[in-house]
Chains A and B, each alone.
Chain A
Amino acid sequence: DGGITQSPKYLFRKEGQNVTLSCEQNLNHDAMYWYRQDPGQGLRLIYYSQIVNDFQKGDIAEGYSVSREKKESFPLTVTSAQKNPTAFYLCASRARTGLNQPQHFGDGTRLSIL
């Protein structure tokens, strides 16, 4: 079955540490996205990528970095510069054919501070 796999499901970060969240898709989608979800708030866009080797900042990119070296992979690094990283992180992908294509989401990674 095609889908999006995020790992790990739970992650703990120490002060001053960078951590990387994995996102892999086998849907052959060109576009991929990273969102942050805080309790009671909507999904906020961190970074997105429309094509391999290209990505753009979203609304809250500060303290985060991404890479898109392969079509199926879009890892997110939460750097030590992100002072409030505790949140639920969601990865999504979308086919580029047709502007109204829905986004397909993984089941998220919950990041907490130790």
Chain B
Amino acid sequence: SQKIEQNSEALNIQEGKTATLTCNYTNYSPAYLQWYRQDPGRGPVFLLLIRENEKEKRKERLKVTFDTTLKQSLFHITASQPADSATYLCAPYNAGNMLTFGGGTRLMVKP
């Protein structure tokens, strides 16, 4: 069956460091993958999209990579700030024009 794995344990890092979050998927061949940010009690907010033919995508302090051989996407936040603390969800696009969301990884950036 199709599966999306994100580290369910919170990632704690110091302010200014680079945060790296992992999204692994199995039994998928996604044409693209999206990343969302979710704050407590709020709906997810779209951050970045990366297509299968793109190795890397950047937006300000954010960087996403997509390795279709490893079936993995990495999400990086450089120069992290306490305001970056949130849960980050990955969402591969599967057949039938549907997104499927991972369980998310909670990031805590300490001052």
Contacts and interface: CB of A to CB of B under 8 A. Distances in A.
B32 interface: yes
A42 B103 contact: yes
Contact of A100 (B45, B49, B98, B102): B49
Interface residues of A, number: 21
A111 to B, nearest CB: 14
Interface in A95-114: 99-100, 102-108, 110
B42 interface: yes
B99 A103 contact: yes
Nearest to B33: A100
A40 B105 CA distance: 9
A23 to B, nearest CB: 11
B43 A102 contact: no
B29 to A, nearest CB: 15
Contact of A42 (B41, B89, B98): B89
A6 B44 CA distance: 14
B101 interface: yes
Contacts of B104: 42
B31 A99 contact: yes
B69 interface: no
A102 B49 contact: yes
Given A42-B100, A105-B44, A107-B42, 7 more contacts: A6-B43, A42-B4, A90-B43, A99-B97, A100-B51, A100-B93, A102-B46
Q: Lowest 6 A-B CB distances belong to which pairs?
A: A105-B43, A102-B46, A43-B101, A42-B101, A42-B103, A107-B43
